[in-house]
Each structure stands twice: as structure tokens, then as C-alpha cells.
Structure 1
Amino acid sequence: MPPIPGAGLAKGLAVTLRTMTKRTVTAQYPDVQPELPPRTRGVIGLFEENCTVCMLCARECPDWCIYIDSHKETVPAAAPGGRERSRNVLDRFAIDFALCMYCGICIEVCPFDALFWSPEFEYAETDIHELTHERDKLREWMWTVPEPPALDPGAEEPKEIAAARKTAEKLRAAQAAEEAEAAATAQAGQPGQAAQAERPTDAAGPEQPKQEGQE
């Protein structure tokens, strides 16, 4: 069957008419901020107190956009006769967001929870070099990281919390046993002291036997 002349035009006009009759919804950005999903990947925040400079995030980054510099410092012994230790001190932690592809691998592989996703996305720059955020800027993004979602009440308790609870219970039981033993020792020592207190004492001492010729 040959096509009807003007059928395509009629279909296009029908789509236009259906769209015109619908209510328009316009996002009034930037006056009204959009409602972002809770797992939005906006920018990466750094909590440098947890960073141990293990370099795992920089090694696993597929874009090589993480730059880390550090040096070693000697920590004196905590007790006399102890051994000095060395620790890594973070000098620079920067992320080049012009290269970052927001895969999240660095956040997943961090073993000490030093990197987090922030939903902030308004950090466009006119110069591409300014998209390299140093650790001070990454620290500012950390305060915009939302709180983690609540755990499922029916979920299994994390192993770390269970281990900490068992350790606390053992310490509490050992402390209670020590207190009970100290109380029993103190109670056992009280009757002897009471009997000693009730025993009469003679200030003059024991009576001496009289010799002959003495009255």
C-alpha cells in the first residue's frame, strides 16, 4: 500500500499538539537546587586524619589523577626502653577532576575510610588547571558529605561491633570479679579485727609472782 501523502506531517503535528497540552515543568536552577539522589557522585572529600599514605587509591586509579606526597617522621618510644617507630606524614593530596571519571574505585579501595562521596557538583572553573583540588579544598568538601543511611534492623551485626562488645563484656566481667574478690577479702578480715578489739587489755601488764619476803 503506497504511503498516504502528508501522513508523516500529521504524526509530527499530533506529537506537537499532545506536548502543548501537557503542563510544563521547568527546573528553576540555580534559584532552586535540584533534589539529588542520596548516592550522587559529585565530588570527593578527604578526611586526612584517617589517611595513612598507603598510596592504594593512587595505584588503583585508572586515570592516574590522584597525586600524593609524603615524608617519614620518627616517633619516640612511648615507654622507657622502647623502640622508636617511623610513620608517614601526608604533605600533599590532590585530585585532578579534569581527568577523574568518577568511577569511585579510590573510595572503595581505601582501607581506612579517608575518602567519601559528596553530592556537591557546582565547582566548574574557567581554567582547567583550577580543577586540580588540593587537600585543603578536599577537606572543605568533607563537611558536605551526607550521613550514611541507617542500618537495616534485621541485618546481621557488623563483626567489628560484635568483637568490641565481647571485649567490653570480658573487661567488665574481670573488673566485677576483682571487685568481688576485694570485697570478700575485706569482709574476711573484719571479724579478726573485731575480736582483737574486744579482747581486754591490762595497762599494767601481767601480774608477776610474788617472791618470799615481799608483801
Structure 2
Amino acid sequence: MPPIPGSGLAKGLAVTLRTMTKRTVTAQYPDVQPELPPRTRGVIGLFEENCTVCMLCARECPDWCIYIDSHKETVPPAAPGGRERSRNVLDRFAIDFALCMYCGICIEVCPFDALFWSPEFEYAETDIHELTHERDKLRDWMWTVPEPPALDPGSEEPKEFAAARKTADKLRAAEEAEAQRAAEEAEARQAAEAQQAAGAQRPVEDRGAEGRRAGEDRGAEGRRAAEDRGSEGRQADEDQGGEGRPGPGSDRGGQP
């Protein structure tokens, strides 16, 4: 069906009439700040503690406006006997907002949530070189990042929460196992000390018992020796008495 002649003009005049009947509202900027939506793409903030210098944001940036410098450091082993490890240390993180086209690819590809959108947009400069924000200034933008919206009560739990809970459970189990092992070692040490003290006391008691037995044996031997000497003396006296007394049939007794 061909369009009715003059329909476009009628639609335009209708829009004009609707606009003419509404009250005009002027945004009193900069005295009154505008109410921006929560996902406004203003400036990018850097949460430096989460950055692992993976260089993924710099490689994926279509404008190559992210500059990162780092160096490696050797980390001592966490436990005795372990091996040393190396980690990347961030030296420089800068974003040239004169080149940035605010596509948000760097924020989406960051695997450790180190980059965030801030609704702040008032950072115009008179010198184009001042639009290159170093990591200190990017860190200051983090304080203007709004809190994330609340999750839907019926939604699934984020994978980050599950991973964090699993890690916390592992750490708790390791701490409990370490505490139990320390308690067992303390009990074993106390038992060994008690056994050692008992072993040190037993030789003294054994030596005392041996001394008492030796004394009793020497006393018994002395009593037996005395009894033997007494019986020998009585026998000798009896022998001597028998020899001194004359018998009835002796020569001496038969003399007149």
C-alpha cells in the first residue's frame, strides 16, 4: 500500500505539538550533577591489588592505549624444604584516554577483576598529555566506582563465591589438621617425658631393693656363721669333757 501523501509531514507536526505542550526543563549543569545510570562508561579505575600483570588487557585493547611495565621477583618458599617461586610485580599501569574509545574490552577480559567502570566523566585537560592516567590516578578513580547491584534472589550463586568458599573450607580443614597434629605431638611428647621420668626412677628403686636383699643375705650368712661357730664350740667342749672324766674300768680307778 503506497504511503498517503503528506503523512510524514503530519507525523512531524504531531511530534512538534507534543513537544510544545510539555514544560521545558533545563539541566543546571555543572551546579547540579546529572543522575547517571549505574553502567555509565565514564573513566576506568584500577584495583592494583588484583592485577597479576597478565597483559591480557593490553593485548586485547584495539587502540593499544594501555601501557604496562613489570619485573619478576623471587618469592621464598612458604614451608621449609619447598622451592622458590617467581611472581610478576607491577611497575607501571597507564591508560591514554586520548586514544581510548571506551569499548570496555579491557574490563571484560580481565580475569581477576582489576579494572572497573566509574561514572566520573569530568577529567578534561588543557594538555593532551595529561589524559594519560598513571596507576596512582587510576587507583583514585576506584573510590568513585558504585557498588554492584543486588543479585536476584532466585539467581545462581556466582562462581567466584563458590571458589572462595571452597578455598576457605580447605584452609579451615588444613588449620584443623595442623592443630590436631600439634595436639598429638604434644601428647606424645608428654608421654615420652613421663616414661623417661619413670625409667629414671626405676633404677634407683632397683638399686635400693638390691641393697636390701644384699644386706639381708649378708645378715643371714652372718647368723649361719655364728650358729656354725657356736655348734663347733659346743662340740669341742663336749669332746674335751669326755676326755677328762675317767671311766669305771680304767686303771686309775682300780688302784687301791
TM-score by length of 1: 0.69
Q: CA deviation at 1:60?
A: 0.4
**Partner of 1:120: helix, strand, or coil?**
coil
Q: Which moved more, 1:85-94 or 1:167-176?
A: 167-176
Q: CA deviation at 1:106?
A: 0.7
Residue number in structure 2 paired with 1:21: 21
C-alpha separation between the residues in 2 aligned to 1:172 and 1:60? 41
Q: 1:83 to 1:179 in 2, by over 3 A?
A: closer
For the 8 Å contact 1:44–1:117, the answer to whether it is kept is: yes
For the 8 Å contact 2:42–2:117, the answer to whether it is kept is: yes
C-alpha separation between the residues in 2 aligned to 1:65 and 1:120? 19
For the 8 Å contact 2:61–2:106, the answer to whether it is kept is: yes
Higher RCO by CA contacts (8 Å cutoff, separation 6 or greater): 1
**Partner of 1:139: helix, strand, or coil?**
helix
- Equivalent positions of 1:41-52 (< 5 A) are 41-52=41-52
C-alpha separation between the residues in 2 aligned to 1:27 and 1:77? 59
Residue number in structure 2 paired with 1:119: 119
For the 8 Å contact 1:76–1:83, the answer to whether it is kept is: no
Structure with more of its chain in helix, by fraction: 2
- Equivalent positions of 1:43-192 (< 5 A) are 43-70=43-70, 72-75=71-74, 77-78=76-77, 85-154=85-154, 155-156=156-157, 158=159, 159-168=162-171, 170-171=173-174, 174=177, 178=181
Q: 1:81 to 1:156 in 2, by over 3 A?
A: closer
C-alpha separation between the residues in 2 aligned to 1:52 and 1:143? 21
> Which contiguous aligned blocks of 4+ residues in structure 1 show a shift greater than 6 angstroms?
79-82, 182-186
C-alpha separation between the residues in 2 aligned to 1:80 and 1:176? 18
For the 8 Å contact 2:75–2:87, the answer to whether it is kept is: no
Residue number in structure 2 paired with 1:195: none
Residue number in structure 2 paired with 1:197: none
Q: CA RMSD in A?
A: 4.3
Q: CA deviation at 1:82?
A: 6.2
For the 8 Å contact 2:43–2:118, the answer to whether it is kept is: yes
Letter in 2 for 1:167: K
The C-alpha deviation readout for 1:119-144, integer Å capped at 9, x for no partner, is 11111223333222222221211221
C-alpha separation between the residues in 1 aligned to 2:133 and 2:22? 44
Q: 1:121 to 1:173 in 2, by over 3 A?
A: same
**Partner of 2:144: helix, strand, or coil?**
coil
Q: CA deviation at 1:113?
A: 2.1
Structure 2 unaligned spans of 5+: 196-204, 228-256
Q: 1:19 to 1:105 in 2, by over 3 A?
A: closer
Q: Which moved more, 1:90-99 or 1:145-154?
A: 145-154
Counting aligned pairs with the same residue, the percent is 73
Q: 1:126 to 1:185 in 2, by over 3 A?
A: closer
Letter in 1 for 2:157: E
Mapped pair 1:36 → 2:39: no
Letter in 2 for 1:171: A
C-alpha separation between the residues in 2 aligned to 1:58 and 1:98? 16
